Amino acid sequence: MHRFDGAAAHLPARSGLGLKPEHYQAIFDGEPDVGFFEVHAENYMGAGGPPHRWLEAIAERYPLSLHGVALSIGAARPLDKAHLARLKALVERYAPRSFSEHLAWSTHDLGFFNDLLPLPYTEETLDRVSAHVDETQQALGRRMLIENPSTYVLFEESTIDEIDFLAAVSERTGCGLLLDVNNVMVSAVNHGLDPLAYLDRFPVERVGEIHLAGYDETVDGAGERLLIDAHATAVRNDVFALYEHVLRLAGPLPTLVEWDNDVPAFDVLYAEARRVDAALAAETARRNCRAA
């Protein structure tokens, strides 16, 4: 096992937005004051075409963050070498400031599931995830970030707490962590846990990026509140309050607003980015006052 050292990410401690094709022209023409843009790696694994022309133009103006959704870090099978090679080529082409993936699995035997599926937290899973993170970092030649999941079920066979699991992967491999605050809220409500208690225990010193998003709400078969990590609305106020709590714990960090479904006009997304930047500026001012 190799352990990467150094900073987990080099993004500015600013707001970031997911880059959507319907917004290419608005971004290129308006040059909005956004700290960075994030793209899903799998959307740019083709050799060329309009998506790459737009991304190359935007990458000349903004830092990029690369977010993977199909590496299947937690799968009980070897990593897909062809996928890893395409990912490496993309990293070399665009030199993103940060690369992240999910603590999840999406492959089994020869099949691929278009979903991010949860894992039991056991020593066996810890060994497998750590080995896959190590292999990815060695292949890419850079440190990666691993994201905490949103979950809807818990495994009876789990023997390790989720935060302890993430911390152990980071300690073994040197990877950083991506703290998705919306995922914290979704999982906490679905399992009857305290999201503030989760965040107070989270190793924020290992966090290189934060994600925010909107959730949908319904009820389960027992009539209990059930949250869905939908990425189809503005960031909910209760999630934003958790985010401000994280900033008090960790200080300003690069923060992405995810809005992947029912994508609105760019001005709506930009308003979310400005809200994030205001919170980051307020935390910076609070820390400066304390230091004075």
pLDDT at position 113 is: 44
Residue 1's pLDDT band, with cuts at 50, 70 and 90, is low
d(CA 223, CA 220) in angstroms, rounded, equals 5
Residues 230, 235, 236, 238: is their CA dihedral positive or negative?
Answer: positive
Q: Please indicate, yes or no, if residue 283 is contained in any of the structural domains.
A: yes
Closest by Cα among 67, 75, 203 to 129: 75
CA 258/CA 24 separation, integer angstroms: 16
From the number of C-beta atoms within 10 Å of its C-beta (0-12, 13-18, 19+), residue 53 rates as exposed
User: What is the percent of the chain where pLDDT is above 70?
Assistant: 93
**How far is it, in rounded angstroms, from Cα 256 to Cα 270?**
11
pTM for the whole structure:
0.93
Which segment of 27-41, 47-61, 233-247 scores lowest on mean pLDDT? 47-61
Q: What is the CATH number of the domain that holds 31?
A: 3.20.20.150
Any alpha helices (H) in the chain, and if so which ranges? Answer: 24-30, 50-59, 81-94, 123-140, 162-173, 181-191, 195-201, 237-250, 266-291
Say if 60 falls within a structural domain: yes
- Fill in the amino acid letter for 192: G
Q: What is the pLDDT of residue 75?
A: 79
Range scoring the smallest mean pLDDT among 23-32, 40-49, 160-169, 248-257: 40-49
**pLDDT recorded at residue 222:** 83
Distance between CA 187 and CA 226 in Å, rounded? 9
**Domain for residue 6, yes or no?**
no
9 part of a folded domain: no
Q: CA 115 to CA 128: how far, in whole Å?
A: 19
What is the rounded distance in angstroms from the CA atom of residue 87 to the CA atom of residue 108? 20
* 142 phi/psi in degrees, rounded to 5: -155, 160
Please report the DSSP string for 31-92 in residue order. Answer: ----SEEEEEGGGG-SSSSHHHHHHHHHHTTS-EEEE-SSS-TT-SS---HHHHHHHHHHHH
Average pLDDT on 190-217 reads 97
| Rounded CA separation 72/114 (Å) | 11
Under 8 Å between Cβ of 192 and 203: no
| Residue 7 placed within a domain | no
Q: Which domain holds residue 196?
A: 15-291
Q: Which pLDDT score is estimated for 105? A: 52
Residue 178 in domain: yes
Question: How many domains does the chain fold into?
Answer: 1
Give the span between the Cα atoms of 36 and 48, in whole angstroms. Answer: 22
Give residue-wise pLDDT tens across range 217-246: 998 888 889 999 999 999 999 999 999 999
Q: Distance between CA atoms of 69 and 58, rounded to whole angstroms? A: 22
Q: In a 10 Å sphere around its CB, with 0-12 CB exposed, 13-18 middle and 19+ buried, how is residue 42 labelled? A: middle
- Mean pLDDT of the 190-210 span: 97
Task: Of 239, 255, 92, 103, give the one whose Cα is nearest residue 167.
Answer: 103
Find, among 247, 169, 166, 237, the residue nearest to 210 by Cα: 247
Per-residue pLDDT band for 292 (boundaries 50, 70, 90) equals confident
